[in-house]
Amino acid sequence: MGTIVNLDFITGFSKGNMERVRKYVQMFLEASAEGMPAIEQSFAAQDWKRLKTAAHTLKSISGYMGMTDTQNLLKQMEENAAMEQDLENMPEDITKLQQHLRQAEEELNNFLAQN
């Protein structure tokens, strides 16, 4: 997998203002740290409404990071939870999401350390 975060997108979205970039990156990191456990716990409890909400929240904030693949994955998870369909694929989707978020965190922390 190549890079998962589109740094050009977040920099452009923030009009090059590094204070805004840092703010959005921090928002993403916090949302990720809260959202991933919520998705895992919701799946374990088969609380599809909560899973849908957590996926939706992460999907939105992933957009600020230009994370198209992650957004698409979260959209699929959100829709599957809402419709209670294809739930047998959810463990694989959760694993893939964990990988996306770990990589994004690493990329973003490296970016912040250099800027």
The CATH number for 22's domain is 1.20.120
DSSP one-letter string for the chain: ----S-HHHHHHHTTT-HHHHHHHHHHHHHHHHHHHHHHHHHHHHT-HHHHHHHHHHHHHHHHHTT-HHHHHHHHHHHHHHHHT-SGGGHHHHHHHHHHHHHHHHHHHHHHHHH-
Residue 115 belongs to some domain of the structure: no
Residue span of the structural domain in which 72 resides = 7-109
Residue 114 belongs to some domain of the structure: no
Residue 73 belongs to some domain of the structure: yes
Decide: pTM greater than 0.85.
yes
pLDDT in tens, 35-53: 999 999 999 999 999 999 9
pLDDT in tens, 72-90: 999 999 999 999 999 999 9
Q: How many domains does the chain have?
A: 1
